[in-house]
Structure 1
Amino acid sequence: MSEQQRSPKPRPYAMARRAEQVGETRQRIVDAAVHLHGTVGPAGTSIAAIAERAGVTRLTVYRHFPDDTALFTACSQDWLSRHALPEPEAWERIPDPVERLRAGLADLYRFYRSGAQMLAMIHRDRDVVPAPVREFREAADRARVDVLASAFADRDRRDRRLRLALTAHAAAFPTWRSLCVEQGLTDKEAVAAMVALVRDLPDR
């Protein structure tokens, strides 16, 4: 076979452009899914709706994201990358337990307020979130609570258990939503109320 009859190798520019187009398509799909998750919620988001908003076919969506876990993971990473996340590493550097709790809750409540719409939808529809994604988020929540509760030097088992439960309640998104959205408290007021709750354990 002559050189002229052989199929030409793809040029580097063409290959780079193809990769760029694939990346652009993937991002459109992610953007569409993030928008729908934050407006109608995960339970109301179908592959067909994602494909329509992204301007692609359903098959194209599946080619990029073969299952719900892959799609939710990509959406979560994309959404989180656009927000200033809580920083439990910074809380850990505060030795005083009450001051650590106050700083941690203020950081969490700031994050909750900035992402309130999406977080409300995700919590409402948490049962349809793929288990690996849901379990990763729950583990992150537990780790944050541990950082906040571990500063208290409770020796009594009952006190440790109660303090941990109250801290988890104070650090939860539904608690912030109840206090600051439904009851109209400011973040600062809500932090002060929850610090008092966790700090002052009830009498036996």
Structure 2
Amino acid sequence: MSNPEPAPGGKRAANREAIRARIEDALLETLADGDPSGINHDQIADRAGVGRRTVYRYFPDRTALLQAGWRRLSAAASPNVRMPESAAGLVNGLEELFVGFDRNADAMTVTMASAEGRAIRNAMTPQRVAAYRSAFAKETEHLDPHRRVGDGRPEADRQRR
């Protein structure tokens, strides 16, 4: 009888991944509860059954914790969810994304409707803005980056209508 293959990196790596998963599960459970005290390291540590320092070891600040929540929610929607790499890729992935949202409706509703859900989305703003600018660079290269619809110029307001 042969022994099963050890996990890449051995037992310690597997243990680290299990602890990370417990912390992320606790984060999502806390988010789903809609706890008005907000997401913080102490609260997540208590819920995950680990020490506060352990949570900080994996997620050194609140932003890192919130970004982990975004990654887990995205993976729950679909394993293929990621920041867009092209306009076509974004459009082609919408159906799978929305099916995933429906499959995880409770978590997605909390994420879209709660203050903590907004914090999770905001934690990803720099990455999201960079990804969308890159994905749509070709489609928007002809636009004047300094001109915005509704910026007080009559011609801009007319175009908006």
- Flag whether TM exceeds 0.5 (same fold): yes
Partner of 2:30: 36
* Structure 1 unmatched runs, 5+: 1-14, 94-100, 151-160, 163-203
Please say which structure displays the higher CA radius of gyration.
1
User: Which AA in structure 2 matches 1:19?
Assistant: A
Partner of 1:134: 125
Q: Counterparts in 2 of 1:1-204, with a 5 A limit?
A: 16-40=10-34, 44-84=38-78, 85=81, 92=88, 106-107=95-96, 109-123=98-112, 124-125=114-115, 127-129=118-120, 131-137=122-128
Task: Write the deviation string for residues 142-187 of structure 1: whole angstroms up to 9, x where unpaired.
Answer: 888x6xxx6xxxxxxxxxx99xxxxxxxxxxxxxxxxxxxxxxxxx
Q: TM-score, normalised by structure 2?
A: 0.56
User: Which AA in structure 2 matches 1:92?
Assistant: A
Secondary structure at 2:77 match in 1: coil
Identity, % of aligned pairs?
A: 31
Distance 1:87 1:129 in 2: 15
Task: Write the deviation string for residues 16-55 of structure 1: whole angstroms up to 9, x where unpaired.
Answer: 3333322221221111112222332696333222112211
* Structure 2 unmatched runs, 5+: 1-8, 140-147, 150-160
More helix by share: 1
Instruction: Decide whether aligned partners of structure 1 residues 17 and 43 sit closer, same or farther in structure 2, where only a CA change above 3 A counts.
Output: same
Deviates more, 1:69-78 or 1:123-132: 123-132
Distance 2:93 2:11 in 1: 45
Secondary structure at 1:44 match in 2: coil
How far the C-alpha of 1:113 sits from its partner, in A, is: 2.1
Task: Write the deviation string for residues 119-158 of structure 1: whole angstroms up to 9, x where unpaired.
Answer: 33233325534854233345667888x6xxx6xxxxxxxx
How far the C-alpha of 1:88 sits from its partner, in A, is: 7.0
User: Which AA in structure 1 matches 2:29?
Assistant: H
Is this contact kept in 1: 2:45–2:52, CA < 8 A? yes
Q: TM-score, normalised by structure 1?
A: 0.46
Secondary structure at 2:56 match in 1: helix
